[in-house]
Amino acid sequence: MNVRIEALAEATCVIPEGRLDFDAAPGFQEALERALGAPGKAPAALIIDGAALEYVSSAGLRAVLLAARAAQRAGVPFALCALQPAVREVFDLSGFSRIIAVHPDRATALAQAKPGRA
């Protein structure tokens, strides 16, 4: 799996491409940690853009959960967006879409991530 990181003014976007399975989860977790940055250098918000994410298993959910928790501790708004239907289903079944914000597309996620909206 390839992971791209785009640092925008409003948020840092993490873009996983392909399969987020047991093999890919450690690398993805590392990318999320990198995107959250060092203390004092945190992004305005952290968004996982799932437009190119084809598959997720519980190993991938775990990486997302850990990042969501780290973001919460750091006071960084955290959200998912543009999930494909099969991936969205896994987030829904696991109950994760109840505890993590999920937006239909990146534009909505960026608009929601503005300071004071977290």
Partner 1 sequence: MTTRRTAVPADPAQLSVLTEFLREFGSAAALAPAQVGTFELALEEIFMNIVMHGSQPGIAPRVEVSLNLGIESVTMTVEDDGPQFDPLSLPPPDVTASLADRRVGGLGVFLVRKIMDTVSYERIAGRNQLRMSKRLEG
Residues binding partner 1: number (CB under 8 A): 23
Which pairing describes strands 12-20 and 2-7: parallel, antiparallel, or unpaired? antiparallel
Chain residues 65-104 in contact with partner 1, contact rule CB under 8 A: 65, 68-69, 72, 86, 89-90, 93-96, 98-100
Nearer to partner 1, 22 or 117 (CB): 22
Eight-state DSSP code of residue 81: E
Tell me, residue by residue from 11 to 50, as one string, x for binding to partner 1 by CB under 8 A and - for no binding: ----------xxx---------------------------
DSSP E strand stretches across the chain: 2-7, 12-20, 46-49, 53-56, 78-81, 101-103
Q: Encoding tokens for residue 8? A: 């925008």
Q: Is 2 in the site for partner 1 (CB under 8 A)?
A: no
| Nearest CA among 87, 93, 83, 24 for reference residue 59 | 24
**Burial status of residue 3 (CB atoms within 10 A of its CB: 0-12, 13-18, 19 or more):** buried
Chain residues 44-63 in contact with partner 1, contact rule CB under 8 A: 55, 57-59, 61-62
Interface with partner 1 (CB under 8 A): 21-23, 55, 57-59, 61-62, 65, 68-69, 72, 86, 89-90, 93-96, 98-100
